[in-house]
Structure 1
Amino acid sequence: RHLLLYNHMGGGRRSEGWGKRNILHLAISEDGQRWKAAAIVEQADTGEFSYPSMIQTRDGLVHMTYTWNRKRVKHVVLNPADLVSQPIAVFD
């Protein structure tokens, strides 16, 4: 089972920069190829949540850290067994 913590910013570089980082998503995959949405970890209209990282500790918990509004590093802990996933929409 794989987890991915990311900012969804669409395809390619935008003219105003790399895009908004106001939503931090968590996705889950059983095979590393097909992904499902698992959670929105953080979301705010004017926030910025960037440079996400995560590890899984021996007790099975997942520890996530990311820059919170360019002011501090936030630490979130979750049990991956509690995640419920849904397919991620794909737009062509």
Structure 2
Amino acid sequence: IAQNERETINERIRSGIDHAQKYGTKTGRSIGRPKASSAKVQHALDLLASGKSYRHASSIAGVSLATLVRRVQAMQQKNQFTRQTSIFEALK
């Protein structure tokens, strides 16, 4: 009985590994880190645009500081992001 159970378990494991390899991963785990949701990043960008610090905006929005910096740099290269630097500019 134990031998039969062992063979059944091995078949199920092999079946799962084959399925995972067929769809792009060796073990079945997703490749890399999960992507930051665009809504969270946009919220952090809005906070930055309103004059909040990078660290404060990233912690409120739930996005890592590195992700926020990368997105801002990418947008600045495309001239799509400007940050208000003083409170007087924010009031305009």
Q: TM-score, normalised by structure 1?
A: 0.19
Q: Which has the higher contact order (CA 8 A, sep 6+)?
A: 1
Larger Rg: 2
Q: TM-score, normalised by structure 2?
A: 0.19
